Amino acid sequence: MTLQMFVQSLINSILSGGVLILIAMGLTIILGIMKVVNFAHGEFYMLGGFGIWWFFAEHGLNFVLALILSVTLVGILGVAIERGLFKPFRENAFPSLIISCGILLVFRAATQLSFGLVDHAVPTPEAFKGMIQVSGAFLSKERLIVICITLALIIGLYVFIKFTKAGLAMRAVSDNPAAASLQGMSVDRISSLAFFIGSVLAATAGCLTGPIFYVSPTMGAEPGLMAFVVIVLGGIGSITGTVIAGLIIGFIEGFGAIPFGTNYATVMVYVVLLITLIFKPMGLLGHAEK
C-alpha cells in the first residue's frame, strides 16, 4: 500500500465513520429517550442531501445559508413527525418501529416522485475546492473540511449532552421518565428536542456529503442501516460506544474497500457485528452506560 493510498483510506475511513456517527448519535438519543426505533432516520439524511441540492445547486443560494435552511426544515419535519406519529407510542418499541417503516416508504417514494430516481450532482462549493499536500500525499480539501466540521459537531454534541442542563435533562429522561417529570422536566419537550437534534444531525450529514457523493432518493438506505449497526455494536444508549463503533466501522469500510471492494468491506462489517453480539449481546459498551 503506497503512502497516497494509505492516507486516502485513512481520510475515507474517518469521513465515513464521522458521517455514520452523526447519523447514529441522533438515533441512539431518540432510542434512549423515547424508546422509539426509528428506521426512517436515514431518510432525514437523504432529505438533508436534497435540501442542499435544491437550495444550493438548483436555486443558487449560498452554501452555508442553504445548509442552515435545509437542516432547519428537516429538524422541524422531525419534530412534527415525533409529535404527530411517535408520541403515542413512546416507551413502546414495536409499534414505533413499524410506524417508522411506514414513514420510510412514504419519504422515499415521495422524493422519488418529486425528483426522479436519478442521481443529482451537487457542485463543490468554491471554498472547498482543491488539494492539500501533506508530506507527499495529496488530500482533498473538501473531505478534510467535512471531517473537521463533523468532528466539531460530534464534540459539540458530546459537550452538550454531558455538560448542559438540557443535556442533563435528556439523560435523566432516558434513565427514568417518571422520576424526571417529578424534577419538573417535561418529557414531551425533551422528546421533541431529542428528535430535533437527531434529525438536524442526520440532515447535516446529508448536506455535507451531498457535494462529495450524489443525492438520490435511496441514498439514506445504506447509512440508515449502518447507523443501526453502529448503535448496536456500540451499545444502545452509549454515546461513547457510538463514537467508537462508528470509527471501527468507518475504518473497516475505508481500509477494506481498496483491497477487497466495498461490498466485501460491508460484509466484514456485518460479520464483525454478529461476532460481537455473540460475545457481548448488549454491544461493546452497552452495559457500562446503560
Count Cβ neighbours within 10 Å for each residue of 141-159 and write b for 16 or more, e otherwise.
ebbbebbebbeebbeebbe
Q: Which residues contact 288 (CB under 8 A, 6 or more apart)?
A: 235, 238, 241
If one asks whether residue 110 binds another protein (CB under 8 A), the answer comes out as yes
CA dihedral 159, 160, 165, 169 (to 10 degrees): -110
Binding pattern for the stretch 216-235 against another protein, x by CB under 8 A and - elsewhere: -----x---x--xx--x---
Residue that is written with C-alpha cell 466540521 in the block: 149
* Residue 96 beta carbon to another protein: minimum distance, rounded to whole angstroms: 9
Q: How far apart are CA 250 and CA 77, in angstroms?
A: 29
The residue from 19, 66, 172, 252 that contacts another protein (CB under 8 A) is 172
Kindly state the smallest distance separating residue 213's Cβ from another protein, in Å. 19
C-alpha cell at 259: 483491497
Point out which span in 17-25, 104-112, 203-211, 251-259 binds another protein (CB under 8 A). Answer: 104-112
Q: Which is nearer to another protein, 53 or 107 (CB)?
A: 107
DSSP H or E segment with residue 53 = none
Site residues (vs another protein, CB under 8 A): 31, 37, 85, 88, 93-95, 97-99, 101-106, 108-110, 112-113, 165, 168-169, 171-172, 175-176, 178-186, 221, 225, 228-229, 232, 236, 261, 263-264, 266-267, 270-271, 273-274, 277-278, 281-283, 289-290
